[in-house]
Amino acid sequence: MADPERRFYRAARVANEAVDGWLPDHAVGVSNGKIIDVLPAADAPADETVDLGDVSLLPGLVEGHTHIPCPPRVDAFDIISEEPNEPALMRAAHAVGLALHSGITTMRDLGSKNEVVFAVREAISSGVIPGPRLLAAGAPITRTMDHCWFWGGEADSPEAVRTMAQAHVDQGADVLKVMASGGNFTPTSNPRDRQYPPETIREIVEAGKSGGIEVAAHTHAAEGIRAAVEGGVRHLIHCRWLSANPEEGFRYDAELAQRIADEGIWVNPTIGLGLLASEARERGDAAPRRNPNLRGSSPREQGLEILRDMRDRGVRFTSGLDMGMAYADFNRAPAEAWAFVEDVGLSEWQALRIMTCDTAGAIGVGEQVGKLVRGYDADLAAFPGDPAGDIRDLNRPVFVMQSGEVVVSPS
């Protein structure tokens, strides 16, 4: 008996299993929310085939760093640091819908109120609202009045930190987030300061192990990077290498960078956010208020040179735009891929793998999503043009499917 739900989606270019080349004129078979085949279009049943045309068909995008209650505006801090949960929930519901329609079928939130992000995750998984499959950290663990304190994760002593981390595990967090250094966004924080010593961070890592989950560490400061690595963290966010000395700017430790590469620690450099901010400055757009505690300079080009050295040492990168920050709206994930190619010197296919299978593997869903492979969830995104030839073609999909459900249809 024929399967009434079976369809084959034909495209001029379909990503191969390794996401490192195109299969010309192929089709992806879908049934019951799963990929059932990838085959030449000529071999697909004509009466079950949907022809998407001259598009590039990729796995659904995987976005590794969001803050779904945040409005991507220059005055976001003033809004989210004071508002109650109700408007934050409504804004978060809008954000995940916008992300899904932009081709993001899986996303990881790395800092929001527990009462907001866990509720949105449940609403998506139960079908109440549309959105990418959502992995959530809950409130990031941070010192009193330090970076993102307003989300409710303040803890200072090793005992308080372990208790906070265990509470997140017990509430069903998919990952834990620690602020290993200060951050730009919070005016009572200093991005050049380390927050916790390695032994305190290890308390969070051990709590995560009790629930089978890993830890991501916000790291602007060089000493925060070292504390996170020595504490056993598996994901470094930003990884900017800011010196504690404002006159020095950066303090890059090539030996520590090699250790990061050798131990397979993932790095989310959030360079797409820098690219969008740079383009906003060129347009003359309003800028966020400068953190009053951040002194000295940290030129973007010097930071990119550091990333290129990390690339050459074999450091593994993930996607993650830091969505919810100024300029980083929830449909702008491709900017991270653009920056990997234009600013770091990766190939287009390397960037496309980062946006799909690499980040899927990093965040623990690589056996489920991130590739067009039989048995994987049917998450698809089709883009006009050829992003393997021009990475800026990775933008505004004309077709999106999540778990076999069409979200965006060709016009």
Q: Is residue 178 in a domain? A: yes
Q: What is the mean pLDDT of residues 194-219?
A: 98
From CA 304, how far away is CA 127, in angstroms rounded? 41
Q: For 156-171, what is the HEC assignment?
A: CCHHHHHHHHHHHHHC
| Same structural domain, 91 and 108 | yes
Q: Is residue 2 in a domain? A: no
Q: Is residue 227 in a domain? A: yes
Q: Residue 216, SS3?
A: strand
Q: For 255-322, what is the HEC assignment?
A: HHHHHHHHCCCEEECCHHHHHHHHHHHHHCCCCCCCCCCCCCCCCHHHHHHHHHHHHHHCCEECCCCC
157: left (phi over 0), alpha (psi -120 to 50) or beta: beta
CB atoms within 10 A of CB 85: 14
| Same structural domain, 143 and 162 | yes
Q: Is residue 1 in a domain? A: no
**For the chain, what is the largest distance between any 2 Cα atoms, rounded to a whole number of angstroms?**
73
pLDDT digits 0-9 by tens, 231-266: 999 999 999 999 999 999 999 999 999 999 999 999
| Same structural domain, 184 and 74 | yes
Q: What is the mean pLDDT of residues 354-366?
A: 98
Q: What is the mean pLDDT of residues 20-42?
A: 98
Phi, psi (5° rounding) for residue 256? -70, -35
| Same structural domain, 35 and 101 | no
pLDDT at 1 over 60: no
The total number of structural domains in the chain stands at 2
pLDDT digits 0-9 by tens, 217-233: 999 999 999 999 999 99
| Same structural domain, 402 and 304 | no
| Same structural domain, 23 and 106 | no
CATH of the domain at 397: 2.30.40.10
From CA 369, how far away is CA 360, in angstroms rounded? 6
Q: Is residue 305 in a domain? A: yes
Full domain range(s) for residue 33: 7-60+370-408
| Same structural domain, 136 and 69 | yes
Phi, psi (5° rounding) for residue 147? -55, 125
- Predicted pLDDT of residue 5: 85
Q: Is residue 114 in a domain? A: yes
| Same structural domain, 124 and 109 | yes
| Same structural domain, 262 and 397 | no
pLDDT digits 0-9 by tens, 107-123: 999 999 999 999 999 99
CATH of the domain at 265: 3.20.20.140
pLDDT at 157 over 60: yes
Per-residue confidence at 2, pLDDT binned at 50, 70, 90? low
| Same structural domain, 268 and 326 | yes
Q: Is residue 82 in a domain? A: yes
From CA 314, how far away is CA 308, in angstroms rounded? 10
| Same structural domain, 245 and 376 | no
Q: What is the mean pLDDT of residues 202-222?
A: 97
- Predicted pLDDT of residue 265: 98
pLDDT at 351 over 80: yes
- Predicted pLDDT of residue 349: 98
| Same structural domain, 224 and 86 | yes
From CA 240, how far away is CA 97, in angstroms rounded? 31
Measured at the CA of 144, the angle between CA 178 and CA 233, to 5 degrees, comes to 15
